[in-house]
């Protein structure tokens, strides 16, 4: 039996374990990327490992999330990151150069390589045949130091595309279709591999839109083969020599197959408040207050050119605002030079810098009760910065038509000609905003810049013998990392854990942090009870690190998302699931809870433990590898790595 493309690349990089879907394996990481909001902590952790150099083929540090710079905090972070990059031989993509995923696709991603990024949309690079995985910053720090990255050998889903996209439908609608089929739940430890003759006409930026937003299904990553489209893109980026052909074997066996006929796809939208809440745009007819175009999903050259063509020569209707954030300086400069930027400005667009900006709710929050149409990938309640805004996620053409007409409507009903834009044969190449690694002698002279916003990463002590404390909070289903650790206006505290910890669960329970800190200071432990798909969304390890700082020792959930569960282990918090889901009802907020003998259970390799709350006995399950048990016993990945406990 032949191999899937996923299995081929993973097997080539295997350094620990045997390849068996569902079992933990360790792989070698060729490339890493970080962004500033997760990067400062990743590099602080890298520093505390005491290594003198990175061990990857290539590591890039991007600044794209916190570029607002209200106050000194963001600028302090940027200075720290730039000095770290210079010290350790890392490429530094300066603020203004673009969103990490877009720039990495343009300038660095390579077919057949493994890429680990401290951002959940790292799978964007799967659009050109890389196994690109999002993880917590600490995992990325370990990989930068040459350590293996551990993941569950995935089940591979064949997403078989036939036919051809029709006018006014785009790659965004393809991934929205995938989300409609797979939903945002139940796809942990799977990979989506795209095959079929339908992929042949999809360009790399279109493929990257699909693999990018595949993250919302919860899969480990998504990947396209490396074919002539990949070559075309690499040639256009002046990197044709990095092309290699790569595909699954003809007789590869997949776990399951999704058949999608591209010619049948219609313009779709993710309605409030989940990327999995898919509706046909034709079924909506809504007045729109705000349109935001950009983000790592949809801000490529073709995306923005299409928007410019749709709105060219017209004016933004009263009552609607339009913001555009080009994905990279390459895209921005190209549309500046060819005049499309001027068309957008004449229409009435507010041009934002090439950064995440609005996507993470740190600028251009919409007004109360408004409808905001966005081309980004997440519309969790409140993520835009406005708790009661209604955010619809669509393709750039649907968004452009919404800006033009003030209505969320099917663009085919405009009865206009679809502006088909071709991907250029040569992109504008200018890497002058990327600082390459310094020579070793120059590195030795670099002094790390540490402004007052740069704190030490807190390190956990070993796991206690018993967990004894309270269910400090009980939450429902689909709690996202945006609920656990809000971004937006709180984002600037990412490098300052004590301060950022004041906002844990802020959108759900403003008093949580104070209660949890008081319990920690009394010597007892905090426990979080949760419903299904706990920790959906981002890779932000602060959603584990800050609870750890507040003395959380365990999370008991009906089910948990992959990156978040790994982050909990990395910070010494035990992730449990209920043996019987109905026991969720038996756990009450504020109740006492005891999990006696948790250390012994982990040491013995037990899969189940008993918890006691009031007069109830509750069975809890642990799905952990031997390595993860050791990490938990040590108090987290940092103490485990520093103590060199591997293999004990």
Binding mask 130-149 for ligand MIC (x = CB under 6 A): ----x---------------
Closest among 319, 124, 135 to 213, alpha carbons compared: 124
Distance in angstroms between the alpha carbons of the first and the last residue of the chain: 37
Which partner, ligand SF4, ligand MIC, none, binds residue 376 by CB below 5 to 8 Å per kind?
A: ligand SF4
Residue 220 or residue 472: which is nearer to ligand SF4 going by CB?
220
Residue 262 or residue 563: which is nearer to ligand MIC going by CB?
563
Looking at 330-338, 352-360, 439-447, 549-557, which segment touches ligand SF4 (CB under 6 A)?
352-360
Binding mask 91-130 for ligand SF4 (x = CB under 6 A): --------x-------------------x-x---------
Q: Are 365 and 289 in contact (CB under 8 A)?
A: no
Quick one: residue 106, left, alpha or beta (phi over 0 = left, psi -120 to 50 = alpha)?
A: alpha
Q: Does 7 bind ligand SF4 (CB under 6 A)?
A: no
Q: Does 540 bind ligand MIC (CB under 6 A)?
A: yes
Looking at 250-258, 356-364, 570-578, 589-597, which segment touches ligand SF4 (CB under 6 A)?
356-364
Q: Does 564 bind ligand MIC (CB under 6 A)?
A: no
Q: Does 386 bind ligand MIC (CB under 6 A)?
A: no
Strand partners, 536: 480
Q: Does 172 bind ligand SF4 (CB under 6 A)?
A: no
Find the radius of gyration of the CA atoms of the chain: 24
Q: Does 38 bind ligand MIC (CB under 6 A)?
A: yes
Strands 321-325 and 278-280: what pairing? unpaired
Quote the least distance from Cβ 123 to ligand MIC, whole Å: 11
Residue 106 tokens, joined: 């343009």
Looking at 69-77, 191-199, 538-546, 615-623, which segment touches ligand MIC (CB under 6 A)?
538-546
Strands 155-162 and 190-195: what pairing? parallel
Binding mask 465-494 for ligand MIC (x = CB under 6 A): ----------------------x-------
Distance CA 404, CA 111 (A): 39
Looking at 118-126, 238-246, 279-287, 572-580, which segment touches ligand MIC (CB under 6 A)?
118-126
Quote the least distance from Cβ 434 to ligand SF4, whole Å: 18
Containing 333, the helix (H) or strand (E) segment is helix 329-337
Containing 190, the helix (H) or strand (E) segment is strand 190-195
Among 8, 87, 110, 121, binds ligand MIC (CB under 6 A): 121
Q: Does 356 bind ligand SF4 (CB under 6 A)?
A: yes
Looking at 114-122, 435-443, 510-518, 528-536, which segment touches ligand MIC (CB under 6 A)?
114-122
Question: CB-side exposure of 442: number of CA atoms within 13 Å?
Answer: 9
Which partner, ligand MIC, ligand SF4, none, binds residue 99 by CB below 5 to 8 Å per kind?
A: ligand SF4
Residue 209 tokens, joined: 């839109």
Residue 421 tokens, joined: 């834009």
Q: Which residues contact 477 (CB under 8 A, 6 or more apart)?
A: 531, 532, 533, 558
Strand partners, 26: 16, 150
Looking at 173-181, 278-286, 354-362, 543-551, which segment touches ligand SF4 (CB under 6 A)?
354-362
Distance CA 331, CA 526 (A): 47
**3-state class (DSSP) for residue 94:** coil
Q: Does 119 bind ligand MIC (CB under 6 A)?
A: yes
50 CA to centre of own chain = 28
Place of tokens 């706990």: 534
Q: Which residues contact 312 (CB under 8 A, 6 or more apart)?
A: 343, 347
Residue 81 or residue 638: which is nearer to ligand SF4 going by CB?
81
Q: Does 120 bind ligand MIC (CB under 6 A)?
A: yes
The binding site for ligand SF4 (CB under 6 A) comprises: 65, 99, 119, 121, 295-296, 356, 359-360, 376-377
The binding site for ligand MIC (CB under 6 A) comprises: 37-38, 65, 119-121, 134, 360, 487, 537-540
């Amino acid at each position: 039996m032949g191999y899937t493309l996923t299995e081929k690349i993973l097997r080539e990089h295997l350094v620990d374990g045997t390849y068996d879907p569902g079992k933990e394996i360790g792989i070698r990481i060729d490339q890493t990327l970080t962004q500033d909001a997760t990067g400062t902590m990743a590099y602080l952790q890298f520093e505390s490992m005491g290594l003198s150099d990175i061990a990857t083929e290539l590591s890039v540090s991007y600044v794209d999330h916190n570029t607002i710079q209200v106050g000194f905090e963001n600028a302090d972070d940027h200075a720290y990151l730039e000095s770290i990059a210079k010290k350790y031989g890392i490429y530094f993509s300066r603020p203004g150069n673009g969103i990490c995923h877009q720039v990495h696709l343009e300038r660095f991603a390579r077919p057949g390589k493994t890429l680990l990024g401290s951002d959940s949309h790292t799978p964007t690079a799967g659009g050109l045949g890389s196994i690109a995985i999002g993880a917590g910053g600490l995992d990325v720090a370990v990989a930068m130091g040459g350590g293996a990255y551990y993941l569950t050998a995935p089940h591979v889903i064949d997403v078989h595309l036939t036919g051809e996209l029709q006018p006014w439908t785009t790659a965004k609608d393809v991934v929205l279709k995938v989300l409609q089929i797979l939903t945002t739940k139940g796809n942990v430890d799977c990979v989506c591999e795209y095959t079929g003759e339908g992929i042949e006409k999809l360009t790399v930026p279109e493929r990257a839109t699909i693999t990018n937003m595949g993250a919302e299904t919860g899969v480990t990553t998504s990947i396209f083969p490396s074919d002539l489209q990949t070559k075309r893109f690499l040639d256009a980026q002046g990197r044709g020599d990095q092309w290699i052909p790569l595909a699954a074997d003809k007789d590869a066996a997949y776990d399951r197959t999704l058949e999608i006929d591209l010619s049948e796809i219609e313009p779709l939208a993710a309605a409030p408040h989940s990327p999995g809440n898919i509706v046909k745009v034709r079924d909506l007819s809504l007045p729109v207050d705000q349109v935001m175009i950009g983000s790592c999903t949809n801000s490529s050259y073709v995306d923005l050119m299409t928007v410019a063509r749709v709105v060219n020569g017209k004016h933004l209707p009263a009552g609607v605002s339009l913001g555009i954030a080009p994905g990279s300086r390459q895209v921005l400069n190209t549309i500046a030079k060819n005049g499309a930027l001027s068309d957008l400005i004449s229409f009435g667009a507010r041009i934002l810098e090439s950064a995440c900006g609005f996507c993470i709710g740190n600028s251009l929050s919409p007004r109360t009760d408004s409808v905001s149409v966005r081309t980004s990938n997440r519309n969790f309640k409140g993520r835009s910065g406005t708790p009661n805004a209604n955010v619809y996620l669509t393709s750039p053409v649907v968004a452009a038509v919404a800006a033009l007409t003030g209505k969320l409507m099917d663009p085919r009903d405009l009865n206009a000609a679809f502006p088909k834009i071709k991907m250029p044969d040569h992109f504008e190449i200018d890497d002058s905003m990327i600082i390459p690694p310094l020579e070793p002698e120059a590195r030795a002279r670099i002094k790390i810049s540490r402004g007052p916003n740069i704190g030490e990463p807190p390190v956990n002590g070993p796991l206690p013998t018993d967990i004894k404390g309270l269910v400090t909070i009980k939450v429902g289903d689909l709690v996202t990392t945006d609920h656990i650790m809000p971004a937006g206006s709180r984002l600037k505290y990412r490098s300052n854990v004590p301060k950022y910890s004041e906002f844990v669960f802020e959108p759900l329970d403003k008093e949580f942090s104070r209660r949890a800190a008081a319990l920690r200071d009394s010597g007892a432990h905090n426990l979080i009870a949760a419903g299904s798909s706990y920790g959906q969304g981002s890779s932000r390890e602060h959603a584990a690190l800050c609870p750890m700082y507040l003395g959380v020792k365990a999370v008991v959930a009906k089910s948990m998302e992959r990156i978040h569960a790994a982050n909990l282990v990395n910070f010494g918090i035990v992730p449990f699931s209920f043996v019987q889901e109905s026991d969720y009802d038996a756990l009450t907020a504020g109740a006492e809870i005891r999990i006696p003998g948790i250390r012994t259970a982990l040491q013995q390799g037990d899969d189940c433990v008993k918890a006691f709350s009031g007069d109830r006995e509750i069975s809890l399950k642990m799905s952990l590898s031997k390595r993860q048990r050791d990490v938990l016993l040590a108090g987290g990945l940092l103490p485990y790595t520093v103590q060199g406990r591997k293999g004990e």
